[in-house]
Amino acid sequence: MNKILILIFSTMACFKVMAAPLPQPIVKYGGGCPSGYVTSGGSYCTPSGNARFAIIRLGSGCPTGYTTSGGNYCLAVNDNAKTAIHKEGSGCPTGYTSSGSNYCVSSK
C-alpha cells in the first residue's frame, strides 16, 4: 500500500513540474491587455483569477502552444503550455528550443 501511495505522489509531482508557467504582470503594450488580464497602474497588465501565462507578441506569430490575444500578446493555449521567452540573437538558452524566428520554448 505504501509503495502505491509513493508512486501516486511521485506521479503527481511530475505533472506539477510540467505545468505551464504561472501568469505574471507584464508591461502594457499597444493599449490593451491579453485575455484574463486587467490594467494596473496605467502601464501594466496584471493577471486575474483565470489568466494564463502571456508574453508580448513579436512579429506576426506566436510560439508553439500560444495564441494571439489582445492583438499584441501571445497567451498560453492551456495549462500544459511550456514557458516561452523572446529569442535574443540566433539561438536559445540551454533547456529551450527555437519556436519560429522570435521565440524560445522550454524543452520541459
Q: For residue 11, name the pLDDT band (cuts at 50, 70, 90).
A: very low
26-74 pLDDT, tens digit per residue, is: 999 887 999 999 999 989 999 998 899 999 999 999 999 999 999 899 9
Beta carbons of 35 and 75 less than 8 angstroms apart: yes
Beta carbons of 84 and 65 less than 8 angstroms apart: yes
Q: Whole-prediction pTM value?
A: 0.78
96-107 pLDDT, tens digit per residue, is: 999 999 999 999
DSSP run (H or E) holding 99: strand 96-99
The residue with greater pLDDT, 12 or 54, is 54
Residue 37 and residue 105: Cα distance in Å, rounded? Answer: 22
| Strands across the sheet containing 84-86 | 84-86, 103-106, 96-99
Is the pLDDT reported for residue 20 higher than 90?
no
